[in-house]
């Protein structure tokens, strides 16, 4: 995202400038390399097309020449053959082969010269990298294997062996044009490739990939297969590896093959059976091996023994084995196992099934802990369809298999094992079951019943002689209709929750038993019950007698307000009840406050700025309204103004009036309170179709007429736009009102004049547009103003105050919802007061809310002020699909301020540490950038990471490039990793479009930074390092086209930091003067030198005749380290020197070195 934004602002955002003077020499304006008809930055074997495009008409009789090389010495002549396609475009072709280029694979640089314009002017020698950054990575990959024949040796049948075959792309690391296509294995058995990479897997240059290959077979023999690996390097190729291995071993057989049966054997007795172990020979004796039975073991070694239990059988021989069964307990010994452990890998643990029987014939003991479950609150009473019983199974050698029962109205136990004739039955128990439900409905009549229960064991032995008894009363008749004899509250009297509602009733006699039986009373408010379980409450009746009893029905819910009835009915001891026997009691109950509604005289609820506001409300209550008053407050505020009395105008209507002093730019909110004659108090108005608002505060928008509203400071003074023609004067602007006419021209042109890019410009970023280059919309084509939307604006005019035109404030009380899109969004406060980021939340995104304000650079803040704008980056949460992303803004006002992030905002824990990177270039800055380790961080993208915001106009930017994170942007302000290692390397870039400015970097070490760790900055462009513990600063100078530098921060031990720095010493080991950079140069260049020890340094510039042109340093004290010095191509008088060869001499103590450099203007 940043790339196209840089291009857009670099060429489109500056206010109008003059054109450059025309050039007379021909200029190479474009260089392209094509292979296969497509533009490429990387080429492999085959023809490469070269296209050179010039800005002037050329002499087509003279071809350009091309030099190239792996570095900028350009030592090779490119064997390109070509011709002019027209008078500006020359096209040629060269072929990449094993011999071209002769200097190996890598990144090649190109130099073009020799072409002439039709007017005879010769082109300057031109480097392709300076035209459009053009270089060409030439790659000639080839796949090799670690061996031509992969030998597995000899292994036993049934086992497996894994070997690794390594394949390597024998080209340089940066090449990535070898794609694995697949493989064939002939024959495909018994070899198997376990981990062949995915189709089209790219093997980088120099990368080694291990293929795991397995040999596994249950068939003895010698095996060989061919593994053919297909790959593509621009054309399809194939590599073959032979696989070899031999499979041997014994082969065991048993006779009988599956089971030994011993029959019934008494405890203490024995029985013996025999089986044979055979080692079956192979057709080829070379594959035979002795069969070794190393061990035999049983599932019950106390009952079974084998002789012999370990032996060896030669190929073709047989061994006889005796097995003895001696049972130790009364039980079945079926399905036991004898396992033979052998060296036959195809059947390492072969087994025989052993069956024997020593079970008992004694009856099981009686049921233990028999416990019925009663449906009601009274034991021994039931009306259920079944009697649910649970028990504990007694110990029995054959296990418990069944439960039997019978019902009788006389205490007669079972007389036989199958005595269930008296309404009884049996259950077969499963998996240790200890509960059963015995059916009652349609089997038993009402009355007293005896239930007898006994067990049957797994051998069918019955325990009926020890049956257990339980007694219960069975009743399915519901109680009759209760009769009210007294009420605590008269029927026509209104009451509240503080007055108990007590009913006294008489209970009818139960005809089944001849006595009163009512254990519980149930009730339901307002409507009759639909079933016995459809009740609102219940009460236990204490004491069952034919006399009156009372109970209290609670009234404490607003849902019960008004005149209605409560229905109630009885439940007996067995749980019987009938809703047809319900009766009712009328009531008049009120705990509800008066109802407050707006009357509709002012349906839009809008007040005029500077005028009193009145509203009419309808207030009703069942028992009558006693008093009405109201409060009001400014929009978004929690502080209220003193209460005022509402004025009654009859017919349940009341008028409230808010004085003009309360009608502010923020909007207002009011709350009406009313109390009835029973002291019930409520608030309102309650509006349908509006958001939930438990306090019932009601918002009123403030309308502005004429010129409308404008931004003011804390003292109420108008705040103008920042004026200036420099690109550093861009600002984010918004209007927090709903406008009658919100078009860009309608709102701005009365203040700024007709849209004129030379006088003022406005840009609207529209993230919903899929094409990046189309998202920035300028001027009148921008979307109209709306609350929550902001724009970039710049103007040359001074003291311009933007007024909104007619409109009204955005409604408060309820949160506002702004639609967002993945990536960057330009937002604003939709309310005319500051809002803290704690009042912001996201829907369908778990991104951390990080607000960025813009003022000569981006800053992280925590408050959104009205009339300003902010950038917010969001990422869609996983699982949200295509659901829209929203920012919810709660209308809670705070004091306007800009709170920038500091190290304390991170609340680092022990073990967490970071480096903050700040950059300044001229008036621009970028301070919020961090590298570090945190417990909550992951190795890849997570919600701790902050995206680098877009740049605008003149800028300086620090960013970590992470396209592999696959986010909406590829550049980030942070690179945070999980805690776990004190040795880390971070790569970051610094970019600016400011010309000829010093870029100053500052580094702050924060948190629990490892005490023993070295921390170095590596400048990859100049190949120098800086110890950030000693000097947490670094500067470099941007050139005529700005600058883009890549750096590394290396943290860790001295050994680790030196290893990561590569050939660059952390501290120079000798005095050295390096070649200036760039060279040739125009208009300035960087001189580089290294000091191994402190010294007094002088730097002089000379012309070819030895005359001194410039003194850059004279006897300046420098410590050991890496240094740079800029020469801007001027002499000591400040005059530009002519093109040509110059000498620079650097003197450090006793050392001095002179080098040449070329200035080409």
Q: Report the CATH number at residue 497.
A: 2.60.40
> b vs e for 1062-1093, b when ≥16 Cβ sit within 10 Å of the residue's Cβ?
eebebbbeebbbbebebeebebbbbbbbbbbe
- Alpha carbon distance 538, 570 (integer Å): 10
Residues 543 and 614 in one domain: no
Q: Is residue 722 part of a domain?
A: no
- Biggest CA–CA distance in the chain, Å, is 139
Which of 589, 617, 652 finishes a domain?
A: 589
Number of CB atoms found within 10 A of residue 278's CB: 16
Query: Does one domain contain both 838 and 963?
Result: no
Q: Are 476 and 499 in contact (CB under 8 A)?
A: no
Give the tokens for residue 454. 């006994």
Peptide bond into 202 cis (omega under 30): no
Query: Looking at the domain assignment, is residue 43 inside a domain?
Result: yes
Clarify whether residues 264 and 209 are in a common domain.
Answer: no
Q: Is residue 492 included in any domain, yes or no?
A: yes
Token output for 539: 């009460």
CATH number of the domain within which 176 lies = 2.60.40.10
Integer Cα distance of 1096 and 1059 in angstroms: 31
pLDDT of residue 748: 95
CB contact set of 1039 (below 8 Å; sequence gap of 6+): 995, 996, 1084
Whose tokens are 């918004």? That residue is 734
Three-state secondary structure call for residue 573: coil
Q: What is the C-alpha to C-alpha distance for residues 941 and 577, in angstroms, rounded to an integer?
A: 65
pLDDT digits (tens, 9 = 90+) for 165-192: 999 988 888 776 688 898 899 998 999 9
- Is residue 474 situated within a structural domain? no
Sequence-ordered list of residues with C-beta below 8 angstroms from that of 706, at least 6 positions apart, any chain: 806
pLDDT at residue 512 in the model: 67
Residue 328 shares a structural domain with residue 403:
no
What is the spatial distance between Cα 344 and Cα 350, in angstroms, rounded to a whole number?
9
Given this model, what pLDDT does residue 905 score?
53
Q: How far is CA 763 from CA 9, 635, 778, 783, in A?
A: 10, 30, 5, 10
Beta carbons within 10 angstroms of residue 108's beta carbon: 21
Query: Apex CA 518: angle with CA 517 and CA 522, to 5°?
Result: 160
State how far the Cα of 633 lies from the Cα of 663, in Å rounded to an integer: 10
Q: Which residues pair with 127 in a beta bridge?
A: 111
951, 919 contact by CB (below 8 A): no
Question: Which pLDDT value is given to residue 20?
Answer: 38
Are the CB atoms for 229 and 241 separated by under 8 Å? yes
Distances 1091 to 149, 613, 670, 1017, 1060 between C-alpha atoms, Å: 56, 79, 75, 17, 21
Specify if 864 maps to a domain.
Answer: yes
Which tokens belong to 535? 């009740």
CA nearest neighbour of 252 among 311, 324, 336: 311
Residue with tokens 């080692």: 279
What integer pLDDT is reported at residue 205 of this predicted model?
Answer: 83
**Strand order, beta sheet including 468-474:** 381-382, 468-474, 447-457, 400-408, 425-428
Among residues 104, 138, 172, the one where a domain terminates is 138
1002 burial level (CB within 10 Å; 0-12, 13-18, 19+): middle
CATH of the domain at 1074: 2.60.40.1930
pLDDT for residue 375: 83
Are residues 585 and 601 both part of a single domain? no
For residue 345, give both structure tokens.
């890998």
CB 51 within 8 A of CB 34: yes
Beta strands in 694-768 (DSSP E): 698-704, 731-734, 737-739, 760-765
Domain shared by 660 and 680, yes or no: yes
Which residue among 248, 274, 307 closes a domain? 248
Asked if 990 and 956 count as a contact pair (C-beta separation under 8 A), the reply is yes
743 and 884, same domain (yes or no): yes
**What whole-number distance in Å separates Cα of residue 828 and Cα of residue 842?**
15
Q: Which helix (H) or strand (E) holds 271?
A: strand 271-279
- Beta-strand pair 776-778/311-313: unpaired
1007 assigned to some structural domain: yes
Based on the fold, state whether residues 733 and 696 are members of the same structural domain: no
Structure tokens at 1107: 């005359």
Beta bridge partners of 762: 793
Radius of gyration of the chain, Cα coordinates, nearest whole angstrom: 47
Report helix, strand or coil for 581: helix
930 contacts 914 by C-beta, under 8 angstroms: yes
320 and 240 within one domain: no
pTM of the model: 0.53
1114 falls within a domain = yes
DSSP 956-985: EEEEEE-GGG--S-SEESEEEEESS-S-EE
Which secondary structure element, helix H or strand E, spans residue 749, and what is its range?
helix 744-752
90 neighbors 123 (Cβ within 8 angstroms): no
Whether residue 362 lies inside any domain: the answer is no
Q: Are residues 158 and 186 in the same domain?
A: yes
Q: Which residues of the chain fall short of a pLDDT of 70?
A: 1-23, 176-177, 421-422, 512-513, 542-547, 601-602, 688-694, 896-906
* One domain for residues 1105 and 995: no
Cβ of 741: how many Cβ atoms within 10 Å?
13
Structurally, how many domains does the chain consist of?
9
Cβ neighbours around 638 below 10 Å, total: 8
Answer yes or no: do 1032 and 938 share one domain: yes
Task: Please give the DSSP secondary-structure letter assigned to residue 651.
Answer: T
Residue 760 CA from chain centroid, whole number? 42
Give residue 672's domain range: 595-704
């Amino acid at each position: 995202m940043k790339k196209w934004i840089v291009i857009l602002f670099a060429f489109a955002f500056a206010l109008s400038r003059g054109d450059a003077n025309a050039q007379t020499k021909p200029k190479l304006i474009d260089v392209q390399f094509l292979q296969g008809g497509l533009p490429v930055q990387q080429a492999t074997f085959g023809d490469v097309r070269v296209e050179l495009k010039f800005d002037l008409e050329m002499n087509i009789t003279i071809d350009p020449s091309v030099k190239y090389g792996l570095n900028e010495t350009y030592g090779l002549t490119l064997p390109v053959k070509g011709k002019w396609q027209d008078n500006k475009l020359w096209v040629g072709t060269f072929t990449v082969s094993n011999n071209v280029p002769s200097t190996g694979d890598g990144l090649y640089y190109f130099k073009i010269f020799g072409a002439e314009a039709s007017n005879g002017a010769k082109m300057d020698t031109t480097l392709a990298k300076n035209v459009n950054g053009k270089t060409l990575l030439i790659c000639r990959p080839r796949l090799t294997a670690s061996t031509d024949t992969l030998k597995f040796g000899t292994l036993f049948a049934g086992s497996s062996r894994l070997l690794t075959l390594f394949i390597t792309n024998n080209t340089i690391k940066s090449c990535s044009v070898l794609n694995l296509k697949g493989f064939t294995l002939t024959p495909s058995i018994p070899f198997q490739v376990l981990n062949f990479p995915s189709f089209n897997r790219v093997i980088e240059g120099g990368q080694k990939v291990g293929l795991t290959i397995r040999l596994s077979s249950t068939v003895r023999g010698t095996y060989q297969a061919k593994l053919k690996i297909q790959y593509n390097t621009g054309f399809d190729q194939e590599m073959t590896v032979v696989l070899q291995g031999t499979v041997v071993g014994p082969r065991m057989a048993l006779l009988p093959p599956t089971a030994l049966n011993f029959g019934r054997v008494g405890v203490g007795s024995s029985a013996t059976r025999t089986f044979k172990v055979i080692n079956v020979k192979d057709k080829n004796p070379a594959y035979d091996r002795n069969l070794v039975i190393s061990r035999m073991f049983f599932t019950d070694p106390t009952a079974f023994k084998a002789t012999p239990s370990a032996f060896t059988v030669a190929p073709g021989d047989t061994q006889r084995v005796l097995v003895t069964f001696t049972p130790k307990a009364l039980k079945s010994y079926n399905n036991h196992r004898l396992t033979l452990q052998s060296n036959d890998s195809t059947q390492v643990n072969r087994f025989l099934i052993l069956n024997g029987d020593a079970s008992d014939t004694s009856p099981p003991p009686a049921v233990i802990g028999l416990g019925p479950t009663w449906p009601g609150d009274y034991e021994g009473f039931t009306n259920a369809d079944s009697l649910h019983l649970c028990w504990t199974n007694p110990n029995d050698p054959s296990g418990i298999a069944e439960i039997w029962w019978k019902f009788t109205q006389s205490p007669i136990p079972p007389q036989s094992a199958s005595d269930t004739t008296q309404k009884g039955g049996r259950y077969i128990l499963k998996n240790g079951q200890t509960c059963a439900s015995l059916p009652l409905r349609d089997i038993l009549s009402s009355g007293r019943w005896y239930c007898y229960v006994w067990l049957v064991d797994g051998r069918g032995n019955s325990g009926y002689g020890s049956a257990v008894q339980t007694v219960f009363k069975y009743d399915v008749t519901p109680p009759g209709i209760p009769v009210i004899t007294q009420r605590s509250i008269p029927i026509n009297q209104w009451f509240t929750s503080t007055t108990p509602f007590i009913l006294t009733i008489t209970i009818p006699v139960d005809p089944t038993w001849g006595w009163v039986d009512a254990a519980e009373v149930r009730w339901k408010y307002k409507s009759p019950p639909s079933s016995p379980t459809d009740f609102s409450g219940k009460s236990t009746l204490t004491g069952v007698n034919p006399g009156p009893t009372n109970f209290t029905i609670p009234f404490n819910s607003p849902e019960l307000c008004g005149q209605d009835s409560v229905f109630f009915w009885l439940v007996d001891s067995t749980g019987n009840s009938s809703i047809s026997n319900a009766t009712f009691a009328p009531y008049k109950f009120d705990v509800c406050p008066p109802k407050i509604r707006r009357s509709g005289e002012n349906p839009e609820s809008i007040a005029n700025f500077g005028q009193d506001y009145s509203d009419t409300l309808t207030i009703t209550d069942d028992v009558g309204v006693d008093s009405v008053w109201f409060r009001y407050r400014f929009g978004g505020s929690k502080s209220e103004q003193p209460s005022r009395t509402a004025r009654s105008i009859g017919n349940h209507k009341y008028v409230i009036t808010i004085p003009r002093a309360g009608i502010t730019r923020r909007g207002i909110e009011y709350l009406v309170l009313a109390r009835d004659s029973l002291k019930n108090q409520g608030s309102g108005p309650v509006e349908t179709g509006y958001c939930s608002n438990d306090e019932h505060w009601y918002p009123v928008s403030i309308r502005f007429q004429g010129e409308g509203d404008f931004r003011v400071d804390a003292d109420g003074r108008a705040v103008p736009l920042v004026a200036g023609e420099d690109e550093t004067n861009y600002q984010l602007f918004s209007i927090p009102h709903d406008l009658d006419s919100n078009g860009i021209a309608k709102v701005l042109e009365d203040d700024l004049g007709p849209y004129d890019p030379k006088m003022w410009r406005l840009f609207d970023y529209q993230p919903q547009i899929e094409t990046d280059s189309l998202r920035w919309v300028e001027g009148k084509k921008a979307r109209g103003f709306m609350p929550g939307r902001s724009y970039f604006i710049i103007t040359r005019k001074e003291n311009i105050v933007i007024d909104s035109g007619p409109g009204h404030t955005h409604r408060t009380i309820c949160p506002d919802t702004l639609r967002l899109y993945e990536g960057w969004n330009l937002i604003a406060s939709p309310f005319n007061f500051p809002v803290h980021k704690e009042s912001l939340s996201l829907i369908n995104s778990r991104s951390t809310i990080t607000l960025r304000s813009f003022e000569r650079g981006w800053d992280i803040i925590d408050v959104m002020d009205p009339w300003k704008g902010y950038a917010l980056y969001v990422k869609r949460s996983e699982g949200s699909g295509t659901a829209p992303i929203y920012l919810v803004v709660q209308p809670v006002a705070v004091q306007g301020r800009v709170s920038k992030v500091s190290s304390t905002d991170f609340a680092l824990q022990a073990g967490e540490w970071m480096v903050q990177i700040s950059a300044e270039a001229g008036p621009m800055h970028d301070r919020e950038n961090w590298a570090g380790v945190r417990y909550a961080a992951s190795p890849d993208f997570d919600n701790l990471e902050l995206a680098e915001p877009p740049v605008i106009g003149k800028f300086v930017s620090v960013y970590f490039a992470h396209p592999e994170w696959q986010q909406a942007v590829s550049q980030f302000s942070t690179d945070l990793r999980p805690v776990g290692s004190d040795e880390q390397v971070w790569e970051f870039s610094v970019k600016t479009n400011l010309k000829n400015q010093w870029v100053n970097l500052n580094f702050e070490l924060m948190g629990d930074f490892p005490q023993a760790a070295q921390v170095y900055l590596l400048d990859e462009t100049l190949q120098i390092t800086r110890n950030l513990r000693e000097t947490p600063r670094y500067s470099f100078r941007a050139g005529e086209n700005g600058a883009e530098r890549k750096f590394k921060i290396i943290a860790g031990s001295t050994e680790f930091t030196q290893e990561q720095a590569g050939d660059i010493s952390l501290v120079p080991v000798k005095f050295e003067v390096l070649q200036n950079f760039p060279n040739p140069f125009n208009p300035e260049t960087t001189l580089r030198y290294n000091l191994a020890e402190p010294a007094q340094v002088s730097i002089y510039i000379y012309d070819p005749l030895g005359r001194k042109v410039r003194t850059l340093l004279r006897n300046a004290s420098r410590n050991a380290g890496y240094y740079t010095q800029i020469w801007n191509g001027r002499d000591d008088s400040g005059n530009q020197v002519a093109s040509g060869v110059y000498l620079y001499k650097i003197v450090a103590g006793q050392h001095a070195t002179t080098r040449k450099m070329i200035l080409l203007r």
